[in-house]
Structures are given as C-alpha cells and as structure tokens.
Structure 1
Amino acid sequence: MSTTDDVLLLGVRHHGPGSARAVRAALDAYRPQAVLIEGPPEADALTALAADPAMRPPVALLAHVVDDPARAGFWPFAEFSPEWVALRWAAKAGAEVRFIDLPAAHSLALRSADDESGHPDGGATPPAPAHPADSPGDAPGPEPDPDAAAPTPDAGDPGAAARIDPLAVLARTAGYDDPERWWEDAVEHRGSAGEEGAPGGEPGPGGDSADALAPFAALAEAMGVIRQTYGDGGHTQDPLREAHMRLRVREARRAHERTAVVCGAWHVPALAEKTTATADRALLKGLPKVKVETTWVPWTHRRLARASGYGAGIDSPGWYRHLFTAPDRPVTRWMTKVAGLLREEDYPVSSAHVIEAVRLSDTLAAMRGRPLAGLAETTDAVRAVMCDGSDVPLALVQDRLVVGEVLGEVPPDAPAVPLARDLAREQRSLRLKPEALERELELDLRKDLDAARSRLLHRLRMLHIGWGEPARSRGSTGTFRETWRLRWEPEAAIRIAEAGIWGTTVESAANARAEDLAVHATTLADVTAVAEQCLPAGLADALPTVMRVLADRAALDADVAHLAAALPALVRAVRYGDVRGTDSAALGAVAHGLARRVCVGFPAACTGIDADAARVLRTHMEEVHRAVGLLPGPDAGGGPGTAPAPVPAQRPGPDPARELHDRWGAVLRTLAERDEAIPGLLRGAAARLLLDDGRLDAGEAARLMGLALSPGTAPTEAAAWIEGFLAGGGILLVHDERLLALIDGWLAAVPADSFTDVLPLLRRTFAEFEPGVRRGVGELVRRGPAAARRPPGPADAGLPGFGTALDRARADAAAHTARLLLGTLTTTDLGELGDD
C-alpha cells in the first residue's frame, strides 16, 4: 500500500473472494476519484458496460490482432474478482476507471516476436493464453503470470529455475507446507460469513479506514521483502509492464486528488518505487506494436479453472463464488447445495446428512488448526457422510459445484464483429441459447424450426466454430432425425473473429468458406466431403462452384482409389439431401458417372498389387458396395420417404440405378472368380459381398472356398482369402457347417513349416468375430464339423451344425422357466421343481 495520501495501492490476488471483499471495504473507506485497474488500456472505452444490468460475470475482455484474430488474449473477470468489484464500485460511485497494464498492442506483438525468434517463452500459443493468476498477482493477460504457482522447470528455459511462487515463500514463512491452505486461512476465510458485504457483490457497510487498509499494508510489506530478495522473480517482461503502470499512475495523480490502484500484490513494491518518468519512457521506447480490437465476451467457471488450460488458474471457482456470495454460515449453506445436487441425482441424502457433514467439517477444521472449514474439510465430510466413502458422487459435486457450469452474459450492444452479431440474432430467433453445460439436442428435420437449427449448426461446423458436434441418436435412426451435442466454450469468440474474414453473416461466411475449401482441396475425396457438407448446411450459393470443381476433378482424376474414396460421401449427399428440401439432382448425375468409372477401372486396379495395397482397396470395395446400394437413379428426387414425381404414361425404360447395381455385381463376380493375379484378400471379400447380396448361393460360395483352399494355393494366400471372406463377422460359419468344414480341413492340412506364417492372419481374422460367434464356432469345431458331410438321415434336425436329437433333460429345464415366465406353471410343475 502506498504511503502517500493521493494514491492507494491495493495489492490483490486475482479471483480471490477475500481480496474482493477487502477491495470493496478499502474503496468504501478511501472514496477515490479515479480507480486504476490492471488490464489492457485499449479496453478503457468498454468499462461503462460493467454497470449494465445485462452484463453477468464471468466475462472476459478479449483483445485480438485485427488482421490475425488467432493472436489474441483474454482477461477474465468473475463475480468474486477484485478487479470486477472495483469496476462495479467505480460505476456506482461515479469514479473514473482506467486500465493501466502494458497495452495489448505491445504484449501481443512481443509474444509474436518471441515466437518468431525462438525465445524460450515463445512457441505455439493457444487461442486463449494460459494465465494461471492464482497467486497474489495479476489479472489475466496474454502472457504467463509471475504470480502463478511455481511451474515445473523447463530444461529449455534458462529462467525457469529462477521463477518463484511468492505464495509458497509466504506460506513457508508462516509455517505452512501448502500455499493454497495458507492463503485461504489468511485471506479467503476472513469475513467469509458475510459481515463485509451482502450477497451478489454489492457494497456492504463501510468500516474503520485503518482496519480496511491494514491487510493491504501487511501484504505490500511482505511482497516488498520478497521483491528485494528475488527481483522480478524470473519474469523478464515485468519491468516493462510496471514501467507503463507507473506512467499511468503519474497521469492520474496530476488529474485527481485521490486515486486507487487495484493490481497484483506482486507489483505493489515496483509501483511504489521512486523512479523518473524519463526512465520509464526510455524502458518502453521501441516496443513492437500491432493493431488490436477489444470487446467483452462470455466466460465460464470451467475456463477459470487451472485444469482447463485457459485463463485464471483457480481450482474451485464455484466454491470461491459461494464464499463471496453467502450472506452467513457459508459451510452450512454449502452442504445444503451439495445435498440438493445429490438428491437431484437420486442419491438418498437427508437433512441429518447435512447436519452431520457440517459437524464433521467443523471438527476437521479444528483438528487441523484452521479458522474455518475450507474446501478440503468440506470435501472430506461430504465423502464420508453423504457419499459413503465413494468418489463417484464426489466427482459430480466437484464438477457441478466446486468448478461449476456458470456461463456469463454480455449485453447485445457490446462491440462485436458483424458475424458475431448475426450469430447472436440467429440464436435468439431459433431459441438456441448458448450454455456452458453440455446437453443433447434432438432435431426432427420435418419441422421448420428444427431444420433451421440443423442448418445453423452445420454452417458453424463449416466455419470451424465448435458449438455443436453430431452425436449418435439413442432413439429413431430415420434420416429425418439428427442428434447434436452442444456446449459453448469461450474460445468460440476467437473462432468467430477468425471466420469474420469470410463474410458478415453466418450464411454468407459459410458459403464463401465452402467455395474456398473446394477450390483449394488437394484430393477428389476432399471435394466430395465439402459437397456433402453443403447440403445439410443449405449452402445453395456455394454448390455451383463446388459442383464445377467436383466435375473437373472427377474428369481428370484417373486413379481408381481416388474415385472410390470420393464416391461414398457423394452418394450420402444424394441419398439424404432431399429430407432437408435440398435439390441434389446435379450431385446424382456426378455420382452415377463416378460409379461407372469405378466399375470400369476397379478390376484392373486390383491386379498385381501387394498386401498393403490390397487392404486399402478392400476398404474401398466395401464402401463402394454400400454406396452403390444406396444410389438412386440420376434423375430421382433423392432421399427416402420422398414421393416420386408423376411422369406421363410411357413404355418403361431401363432403370439406371438397377443397371449400375448389376454392373457392380458383375465386377464383384469377376474379382471373386479370377485367378491368383488378384490377391486372395480381395477375392474373398468379393465372394462375401456377393453372398450377402444373394447373388451367390451357398453352394457356389463353398465351391469358391474349395478352390481358394486347394492344396495348390499357397497357405498365406489361402489365409488371406479367408480373412476377406470372413470380414463380415464370421456368422456364416455358424449357420453353414460346410464352409466351416472346408476351413477346418484346410487348416489341418497346412504344413508345419507354413503354419507360423498363416497363424497371424487367422488370429487377426477370428479376433474380429463377436464373442457369441467365436463361442459358437468353437463349439462346432469341438463337436467336429465333418458330421455335416454325411448323407442326411431321418434323425437330422434339418439345420447343419445343430444336434440331431432332442436333449430332454435340457429341454425340461427350459420348459419350466418358460412356463414360469408365461404364468402357466401348474401345481405339478411346482412339485417337480421342488424335487429338483
């Protein structure tokens, strides 16, 4: 704390409820005319929004480079942040508010310079900078904070070993082995019963001036001793930041009689230091600079947590918010919240559990010498009393309450890029409110509202704005159903700013992005993937460009593997496009042409290739097979459930879809019956697909298998044929013992010197079977499949692979169970069960 009467230095810990209460009391006592806050000066024009009733923390200041939005920094504020309390106090008291940290124009440019020069602190930077401001130090900024807990030394960073944790130093001095525990006892639990203020962070009653300022004086003295010992603590940019802060403090002192400065306690000794303005300006001269824009964006408690990798570095924002807002008896109120949450999840928690948990937490605090039960004591009490020692419900408490899923709100008139404004408008019109808590959204595309929601979510995916991700539906699997998993993350603000280069509305930006992706795609499959995304997103303006690129690439690409890889996405787009009311006729024509070219070139592509290439083509073969089965005629309306358009009565002509299906079937038969020029893996897979389609009967399949497993075939080639044939799951072997007998006989005849080469292939094949199939095949092998080759007799059950006579003992046991389930059990049956 400053010793002068015209400046009051309030050293705080960012996101500390104790610091926030102390700042509020100090401002009430001192009544400054100007409040200076650690943060980017570019945001001075945004401070008035803090008083807007529509602004609900947690929120964050976002600063990004105008021509490179990915270079950005966040400054988060929670309801219990001292800086936020100072902003609200100044707005209510009519005091001037200014941010005084190093401008974001310099800090973001310095970060970029470090990245390009290979500085140890450089490297790839995330969209939102990691900023663990969890010691008595900074508000978050675009670089790591010196007030964070001591990081793990980095062997590549010569300054890492010198970086210190001031909290750890003070805690050791006080006799604590845990810095967090010391800070809670010394600061956070001071007045946590609410004497200093009312819920919600509103100013409480004023107190004695000396009492209100005493904590800051003690902390400033402690930090002064630490700074004398450790200097800048290993953080080389601190002198630049502190020089700029001193210059801004001098300006405020000339304009006002009383000025309060809210900053990290780590910086207080440097701001109180006697230096000249000339020296500070010289230190800042020549700094790199970029053009930046700033705005407010919503933030979440999860992003305030250190484990998230973004933002503020506090493990328990939900707990801190509770300490700050509870008017009295914080432990009792906390236990009540926990009990309510567990009851909602159907855990049997009563009022008696709450009473016992409060008592136990108070007892633990007394045993551990703490002034008030902290999070550790309440967690131990909840685990023992409400969770019966289990960590499973405790994890729910940790996620929902200790961290929390609170999402802040920003007024609609806050500065934003045009794309963000359009997205907000669409969210309101579609009643899709962003939420921090993950939830599933079921859409019925036959409804106009749900179809519009689907288009918006698909357009955002095209722009890489990760609000929603498609999920597997747990109900209907119809093509008119969609399931999305929604969760709004704060870094979406960065993605929106980046996507702003494509357009001012979501629709125009998505159309421009789709066109760019198609034009710059490197493979034909990439172009078809873009086309597939355009249909559900309703990007009609982009489709002509995408179709032109698709037709050009398809005409020039002679690689059958490329054509086969591109066909499935195109067919899905044709097949399911019309359920959204999208015209997919042009895509259908391209898909038919692509499929015909695959049919022509596929046999030649399968000739004379090695095992690795055969595996790739087997995947393409199976995908093309499914795609051809789904492909309607080139002039068809598209999706299932769509009534065909009426046509004049005329002589029926050939069906293009059926003709294509037959042509692909002929390709598969050619592959299945070819000689050893085609790898066995592909011949076996082709035979299985023909058998699945009914184009090959069981006798023909047995003939092909017999040829493939004949003594003249190399064992490894025969094993590859089996792998391709049984890739469908092996259920054929359970229902047709002739096929199992052929494989069993071949395997028994494999020479010993070749068996070690065959075993890995067979092991991989049979490992893919379902457990029930493996068990059934094993039972048949144990009984001996050769029995199926004898002439059928009158005692045969009629199905190969099953017993030929009734096992009465087993049947009686099953009959008793069936009667019991059906409610037809008689007194005689019950007597027989009793005898058993």
Structure 2
Amino acid sequence: MEGPLPRLPGGGRVTGPLLLGVRHHGPGSARAVRAALEAAEPPAVLVEGPPEGDALLPLAAAEGMRPPVALLVHAANDPGRSAFWPFAAFSPEWVAIRWALARGVPVRFVDLPAAHLLAADEAPTADEAPTADEAPAADEAAGAEGDDGGSHGRAAARIDPLRALAHAAGHDDPERWWEDVVEHRGGAGDPLAPFAALGEAMSALREAHGDGGRPRDAAREAHMRLSLRAARREYGDAVAVVCGAWHVPALARTVPVGTDRALLKGLPRVRTEAGWVPWTHRRLARSSGYGAGVTSPGWYGHLFAAPDRPVERWMTRVAGLLREEGRPVSPAEVIEAVRLADALAAVRGRPLAGLGETTDAVRAVMCDGSDLPLRLVADRLVVGDVLGEVPEDAPAVPLQRDLARLQRRLRLRPEAAERTLELDLRRDNDAGRSRLLHRLRLLGVDWGEPVAGRVGTGTFRETWSLRWRPELSVKVAEAGVWGTTAEEAASARAAASARAATSLHQVAGLVEQCLLGGLADALPVVVSALADRAALDSDVGRLADALPALARSLRYGDVRATDTTALARAATGLAERVCVGLPPACTGLGAEAAAAMRARIDAVHTAVGLLPGEGGTTGRWWTVLRGLAARDTVPGEIRGRAFRLLLDGGHLAGDEAARAMELALSPAAPPAEAAGWIEGFAGGASGGGLLLLHDERLLALVDGWLTSVPPDAFTAVLPLLRRTFAAYEAGVRRSLGERVGRGPAALGGVPGALPPDGFGTSTDADRADAVLPVLHLLLGTDRTAAPTGAGHHGHAEASG
C-alpha cells in the first residue's frame, strides 16, 4: 500500500486512515461514528457501498429524503437483476454520509461495484438481494456486520463475528451482549477507543478463522484498498473509512497494489443504473429474510432518536398504542412499567433496560400477563411500518415518475401498513384509482389486491387491500420496458400476453383485465386473439372456463363507459358453442371429472345470466339443463345440479322436483348415483339445507332414502353424504336434525299427517298481507302498490 501504513484508531490524533468498523443498522455504532467524525474532522469520508451510487449521494441531504431508503442498482437491460443497499436513520453509513454533506466534506462509496455483482452467474434477484449470503456486495453495505446471515443459503460454515465475540465474553445471547457493550454505551470517553477495541477483536477473529466463509470478500476488500489508496493521494492520510468491522483488519494490512489489481482483473460486469427507493423498517427486520437485518428496527430507531430517557419515552409510546386499540392504560401503569424495567435491568446486570426488560415490564403491567396485546406492540413498535420517502427529482425510470404523478393526482399515497380501500366507481377519482391499480396488477406490480366488499354487490363498488412493499420498486423498473406511462405499459403488456397466451382461459382473463384497467387501445387486440383461439379450440371444458371471465367483463361497460359490443358478440358465440357441446361432454364421467364439470356448469349458468338481452342463448341454456337432468348417462351429481338450477330459475314446479327426487332415489338407482344426485341438488354451498328445511316433502324423500340404503352400500356413500351435509350452516343442521327426530309424521311422509311446526296446510293470504305495512315502512315504498289479498304475489310486486 502506498504511503504510511494505515493504523487502527487509538488515543490522540490519527496519523493514518481513520478506520471506523461498525455493525450496520446499529444506533450505538451510528452515534459512535458521529462522535468520531466530529473529533477527527477527516478531509474525506469513504463509505462501504457501490460506487454506482456516488452521483446520488447529494440527494441524501435533499429536502424530501426521509429514511429508511435504499440505494437500488439494477442491470440496465434487465431490471430484474438488481440489488438493494438499505439505510435507516440509525445506520452508521447514513450518519457518516449526512455528516459529510452537511460540512461540505467529500464522500464516496468504496465497495466492489455492483456491475460485477449483477454480472455474476449467481447474481441475486430483487427479492434475494438484501440477503447477506446471496448478495455479498450488498450484505454489509447496510446490514449487520456479524449478522445472523449464516443461517441462510450456502453460508452454513460462515462465521458470525457477533456471536463469536459474545461467546468469548461469556454470553449466550449475541444481541443482548451487543446492546450492553455498544448500543447502550454512553458518549463519554475517547470517541475512537471503541473502534480500536473492535478492530483488535476482528483481527483476532480473522487470524483464527481466515475469511470466515466469505470467499468473495477478497475481491471486495481489494477494491476497498485501491479506493483508499486513491483517496489518500487526493485528500491525505487522514481520510475516514466507515465499513463493516470485519473488513477493518483487511484494510489495515499492507498488500501490494499488483496483488489487489490481479484479484479484480477479468471480473465480468454489466451496464447498470441506480436510484433511491423508499424502504421500510419491516424490510430491515431479520424476520423479513434480510440476512443483514436486525431483530428490532423500530426499537433501534427509538434508541437513536430519543434525546434522553429512552425507557420512559418508549413506555409512553407503548401506552399510547394500547390506548388507541381500546385497552385502558393509566399513567400510573406507565410509571410502574418503567420502574419494573429498571429493576429487571439491575437484577440482570445490564447497564440500561433493553428490549427484553421493557417487553417483560409491558407484559406484566400493561398487558396483564397476556401475550396477545404484546404481539401488537411487537408488530407496530418493535418492528414497525415506517416507510421512507425519496425526493420527487430523484433519478427514476419514466414509468416510476408517471406512477408518482398518478399517486399524487389520485391522492393514493403508498403506505407500508396494510389498509383497506373502498371505491365507488361512479366517482371520477375512485374510478381513476381503480384503473391504476388494475393496470399495475397487469404489469405484475401487486400494490393492491382485490378483496370481497363488505357491503353491496353492485358493479360500481370495489374493495382493495393496499400495502406498498419496497421490492415493488424493482417491479416498476422491470415494467418500464413496456412503456413510459402506466396506461401505455399495461396496454403493451396485455397485447403481448394475448399473443403469447397458451390457453383460451388466459386470453379471457386478459379481456377482463383490459376492461377493468380501461385499456381501450389493447382491448381490440385481445378480443381478436380471443376470437382466433376460440375458433380453433373444440374442448368444451376450456370454452366453459373462458366464458365466465367474458361475461363478468360485460358488467363493467356501463360503469366504466367502455364499448363492449365486440366482446358481447364473442361471449354470446362462446356460450352457443358451450350449449352445443356440453351434453355430450357430460356423458360417462368419473367422480372427479363429474365434480369438475359440475363447477363449470355453475360458472356457465352465472355467466349466461350476465349476457346482454334475453335472446336465444338464455332459452337454449334452460333447454340444455333440462336435457342434462333427464339424461341417464349423465352422472347423478350433474343431473341433480341441473334439476336444482331449473328449480331455482322457476322452470320446475315444486311437485316436479319432488317427482324427480323420487325417481333419483328409487330402489332401482345405485346408491352411489343417488348420493351424487343429492350432492348436486342439495349441496351445502348452494343453499340446499334451507331448501330441505322449508320443503318437508323433499326432506322426507331424503330421509326415507337414507333409511333404505343397505348397510354395505351405506359405507361406500357415507363420505359423499358427509361432505354434502357438513357444508350446511350449524343452525340449519340443528333444525334439520330436530325435524327428522320427530319421525315421519313431522316430515309429511304419512298421508293425512299434520304438517310440521311452522307450516300450514295451505297459503294464508291474509296473514301474508299483514306484514306488508311493516315492509313498506322499512323499504320506503308506496303502500298502494300492494292490493289487499295479493298475498306473496302482491309482496313481490310491492318490494320489486
């Protein structure tokens, strides 16, 4: 190494490079770095990180930059090949960068360029990049030196310096030991002494363990030494280097320049692009899979930000959270919890109450010994959902800038915490939000997930579950290859996906996505691809699978003002082909195939009801169902389902349904076929329990058939029957059991017997009309709309 031999920090003025070895994401290390820089006032600061981020460093001090944030570097021609370098407010590197920018001191990154990392065969994906083992160029750039990354991947033999030092000190908990000796350490004394001690400890570890299972560290440390040489020539020997403590001995060692250059010669590289992206505390947690993470980023952030009395301030925050969740916590309990935490720290020999002591105190005093509210504290405060912010003028792909513009215009702010968003598509802003979320889903950016609405079933309502995750920034960068705006990119992606789709069902789903996303330019292309595939596909099952998505899509034309004429023609043609091919396709099916076909019939039935008009398609469908119900070669499950759909649609009288059940459950019918017929007709998901409960004749037929099944056959059909009746709601099962327990007379099975409780021998029109005034009052309808004596028919007209 050129110039004077670098020396580890010690007392007095520094005569060589100031090597500040840290544990990344550590508030104690961050405070110590700030104190050391204030004391030494180096002419330049070098930080462990990718040099591709040098041009972005001034943004760290810009207005609108709020950590946690991450430096994202990705391959220019393949954004999916990327790596993150996260920084929190309590990261020592972030503190060093901000200190240098505030004082006008030059600052730069000195780690191995990300261009080499991303060019390697084992280059991580966006999801893997934060993991210490899979992304060694990023593992310690913003993670924990001595992290527990050794528990992941191929690093089984990798040494954990933090654990090794704690073990040498006689502690079995490395996190607790580190808190005691570093994070809770005061600011008194020589600010350089901790770094000297830590450097000596790492030197001893490296003498005993070599590279500690980090084979790629040799190239990284060679590049750091070369960068340090260049900085010393430019700024003098007193430059400061903030890096993982593990690297300090390597940077202090004298190595020939030729040796370092030889280690870097021939490394593959790719062209890269870099930018700042928001990050979250939750993604800094080790539980997220980030091998360089910490166990409690929220707690560490509190320790770093609290000006004094950190335990008292923490207990106050916990109390506030519990009160917000409806749990009463008095000021006296806060005081008692602080006292208990301090007492526990004294008993355990700790310099200050740590997370363990505060947690135990909160559980005992504020949570009454229960772990349930404690989980809330751990999730919201110990880890937390803090989401960073990046300035609007930060470098970003055009699609990212368009997304940010739309988020501002639609007032749809990204948040790390999960939240539910209710949309009314009749409002322009909500309709715009819906289109944006659907377009992003088409691009693979799953910021929002559609969920079942809490109220109403109208097509003008949508309910979304929103949660912004940092890795979605990579997804946005990847999607940028399709266009510069969300609409343009989604349209291009939809058209390309339609051309590349391998099934009719996939194309039908794309049609629905285009309508939901308001992609008018892509819709003709996708509909054309749908028509081409439908014309060549003769499989009824695939045609039936594609029809529901098309029929659902037609519902959005009115609300979203989209022309669906071409789509309606395609859907009607597809329905006609299903009607023609379904009866033969339902013949001779096995049990599993019959169950799958029954599900398709349900979906097609719903889809036909959504098709526009009351033309021949609907009538033809009812004819198909009648044919299926009467066809002996069709499995019993499908025949029973066809009868049920006909009954619910008003195309089958009650006596006709009872007659059909008598034939299906006659002694001549095989028990397995009869059981399948019951499953199709009265399956729990279709409300069959209520049907049996309110039609005593049908219930009597089922009960009579069950009692007549031979014992040997009963064992074979029991699983199917159990599945049928177990799906009923508990109250329905109980009522059915009570009614069956009264015997055949209660079921109407004996001629001339009294009807079951709650049922009359005939319809009492006067009693039915008596409830109409109350219904009119509740519904706010005109009382004159229902004539006296109209009975149930008058009720239907009035409430309709």
TM-score by length of 1: 0.86
**How much has 1:88 moved relative to structure 2?**
0.5
Indicate how the Cα distance of structure 1 residues 748 and 332 shifts in structure 2: closer, same or farther if over 3 A, else same: same
User: Quick check: 1:743 aligned with 2:702?
Assistant: yes
After the TM superposition, which of the residue ranges 726-735 and 172-181 deviates more from structure 2? Answer: 726-735
**How much has 1:786 moved relative to structure 2?**
5.0
**How much has 1:290 moved relative to structure 2?**
1.6
- Report the Cα distance in structure 1 between the residues aligned to 2:672 and 2:138, rounded to whole angstroms: 66
Equivalent AA in structure 2 for residue 477 of structure 1 = T
Equivalent AA in structure 2 for residue 102 of structure 1 = L
Asked whether the 8 Å contact 1:14–1:139 carries over to 2, the reply is no
Cα deviation 1:425-472 (Å, max 9, x = unaligned): 111111111111211111111111111111111111111111111122
Asked whether the 8 Å contact 2:72–2:274 carries over to 1, the reply is yes
Cα deviation 1:366-397 (Å, max 9, x = unaligned): 00000000011011111111111111211111
- Report the Cα distance in structure 2 between the residues aligned to 1:581 and 1:187, rounded to whole angstroms: 63
Indicate how the Cα distance of structure 1 residues 146 and 107 shifts in structure 2: closer, same or farther if over 3 A, else same: farther
Within 5 Å, give how 1:318-337 maps onto structure 2: 318-337=298-317
Indicate how the Cα distance of structure 1 residues 280 and 711 shifts in structure 2: closer, same or farther if over 3 A, else same: same
Structure 2 residues not aligned, in runs of 5+: 1-6, 763-800
- Report the Cα distance in structure 2 between the residues aligned to 1:498 and 1:150, rounded to whole angstroms: 28
Specify the SS of the correspondent of 1:32: coil
Residue in 1 that maps onto 2:176: 181
Indicate how the Cα distance of structure 1 residues 608 and 733 shifts in structure 2: closer, same or farther if over 3 A, else same: same
Asked whether the 8 Å contact 1:317–1:402 carries over to 2, the reply is yes
Residue in 2 that maps onto 1:638: none
- Report the Cα distance in structure 2 between the residues aligned to 1:36 and 1:752, rounded to whole angstroms: 84
Asked whether the 8 Å contact 2:24–2:140 carries over to 1, the reply is no
Indicate how the Cα distance of structure 1 residues 509 and 49 shifts in structure 2: closer, same or farther if over 3 A, else same: same
Equivalent AA in structure 2 for residue 421 of structure 1 = R
Specify the SS of the correspondent of 2:148: coil
Cα deviation 1:332-367 (Å, max 9, x = unaligned): 111111111111222111111111111100000000
Asked whether the 8 Å contact 1:59–1:297 carries over to 2, the reply is yes
- Report the Cα distance in structure 2 between the residues aligned to 1:266 and 1:254, rounded to whole angstroms: 25
**How much has 1:279 moved relative to structure 2?**
0.4
- Report the Cα distance in structure 1 between the residues aligned to 2:140 and 2:646, rounded to whole angstroms: 63
Specify the SS of the correspondent of 2:21: strand
Asked whether the 8 Å contact 2:147–2:291 carries over to 1, the reply is no
- Report the Cα distance in structure 2 between the residues aligned to 1:687 and 1:490, rounded to whole angstroms: 52
Residue in 2 that maps onto 1:774: 733
**How much has 1:143 moved relative to structure 2?**
12
**The one of 204, 229, 245 aligned to 2:208:** 229
Equivalent AA in structure 2 for residue 627 of structure 1 = A
User: Quick check: 1:114 aligned with 2:140?
Assistant: no
**The one of 265, 278, 283 aligned to 1:298:** 278
Indicate how the Cα distance of structure 1 residues 45 and 352 shifts in structure 2: closer, same or farther if over 3 A, else same: same
**How much has 1:629 moved relative to structure 2?**
1.5
- Report the Cα distance in structure 2 between the residues aligned to 1:562 and 1:144, rounded to whole angstroms: 50
Residue in 2 that maps onto 1:789: 749
Indicate how the Cα distance of structure 1 residues 335 and 797 shifts in structure 2: closer, same or farther if over 3 A, else same: closer
Asked whether the 8 Å contact 1:702–1:738 carries over to 2, the reply is yes
Specify the SS of the correspondent of 1:167: helix
**How much has 1:477 moved relative to structure 2?**
3.1
Within 5 Å, give how 1:201-280 maps onto structure 2: 211-257=190-236, 258-280=238-260
Asked whether the 8 Å contact 1:185–1:372 carries over to 2, the reply is yes
**How much has 1:68 moved relative to structure 2?**
1.6
Residue in 2 that maps onto 1:68: 78
Indicate how the Cα distance of structure 1 residues 351 and 752 shifts in structure 2: closer, same or farther if over 3 A, else same: closer
**The one of 681, 684, 689 aligned to 2:637:** 681
Cα deviation 1:620-646 (Å, max 9, x = unaligned): 11111111122222xxxxxxxxxxxxx
Indicate how the Cα distance of structure 1 residues 353 and 238 shifts in structure 2: closer, same or farther if over 3 A, else same: same
Within 5 Å, give how 1:405-420 maps onto structure 2: 405-420=385-400
Query: In angstroms, what is the RMSD of aligned CA positions?
Result: 2.1
Indicate how the Cα distance of structure 1 residues 761 and 801 shifts in structure 2: closer, same or farther if over 3 A, else same: farther
User: Quick check: 1:131 aligned with 2:125?
Assistant: no
**The one of 318, 325, 335 aligned to 1:345:** 325
- Report the Cα distance in structure 2 between the residues aligned to 1:507 and 1:138, rounded to whole angstroms: 36
Structure 1 residues not aligned, in runs of 5+: 116-123, 197-206, 634-656, 803-836
**The one of 374, 378, 384 aligned to 1:398:** 378
**How much has 1:130 moved relative to structure 2?**
3.6
User: Quick check: 1:663 aligned with 2:620?
Assistant: yes
- Report the Cα distance in structure 2 between the residues aligned to 1:751 and 1:689, rounded to whole angstroms: 30
Specify the SS of the correspondent of 1:407: coil
Within 5 Å, give how 1:587-598 maps onto structure 2: 587-598=567-578
Indicate how the Cα distance of structure 1 residues 48 and 795 shifts in structure 2: closer, same or farther if over 3 A, else same: closer
Asked whether the 8 Å contact 2:65–2:389 carries over to 1, the reply is yes
**How much has 1:262 moved relative to structure 2?**
0.2
Residue in 2 that maps onto 1:672: 629
Asked whether the 8 Å contact 2:85–2:142 carries over to 1, the reply is no
After the TM superposition, which of the residue ranges 282-291 and 241-250 deviates more from structure 2? Answer: 282-291
- Report the Cα distance in structure 1 between the residues aligned to 2:371 and 2:557, rounded to whole angstroms: 47
- Report the Cα distance in structure 2 between the residues aligned to 1:623 and 1:272, rounded to whole angstroms: 71
Asked whether the 8 Å contact 1:472–1:483 carries over to 2, the reply is yes
**The one of 678, 703, 708 aligned to 1:722:** 678
Residue in 2 that maps onto 1:643: none
Residue in 1 that maps onto 2:786: none
Asked whether the 8 Å contact 1:17–1:323 carries over to 2, the reply is yes
**How much has 1:80 moved relative to structure 2?**
0.6
- Report the Cα distance in structure 2 between the residues aligned to 1:366 and 1:314, rounded to whole angstroms: 25
**The one of 330, 341, 344 aligned to 1:361:** 341
- Report the Cα distance in structure 2 between the residues aligned to 1:486 and 1:795, rounded to whole angstroms: 54
- Report the Cα distance in structure 1 between the residues aligned to 2:709 and 2:427, rounded to whole angstroms: 61
User: Quick check: 1:58 aligned with 2:68?
Assistant: yes
Cα deviation 1:699-735 (Å, max 9, x = unaligned): 1111111111222222211111111111223322212
Residue in 1 that maps onto 2:666: 710
Asked whether the 8 Å contact 2:70–2:278 carries over to 1, the reply is yes
Specify the SS of the correspondent of 2:82: strand
TM-score by length of 2: 0.90
Asked whether the 8 Å contact 1:524–1:550 carries over to 2, the reply is yes
- Report the Cα distance in structure 2 between the residues aligned to 1:785 and 1:668, rounded to whole angstroms: 32
Equivalent AA in structure 1 for residue 749 of structure 2 = R
**How much has 1:11 moved relative to structure 2?**
0.3
Indicate how the Cα distance of structure 1 residues 220 and 798 shifts in structure 2: closer, same or farther if over 3 A, else same: closer
Asked whether the 8 Å contact 1:72–1:142 carries over to 2, the reply is no
- Report the Cα distance in structure 2 between the residues aligned to 1:185 and 1:64, rounded to whole angstroms: 38
Equivalent AA in structure 2 for residue 147 of structure 1 = G
- Report the Cα distance in structure 2 between the residues aligned to 1:794 and 1:150, rounded to whole angstroms: 76
Indicate how the Cα distance of structure 1 residues 150 and 498 shifts in structure 2: closer, same or farther if over 3 A, else same: closer
Cα deviation 1:56-103 (Å, max 9, x = unaligned): 110000011112211111000000110000000110111111111111
**The one of 8, 16, 25 aligned to 1:2:** 8
Residue in 2 that maps onto 1:818: none
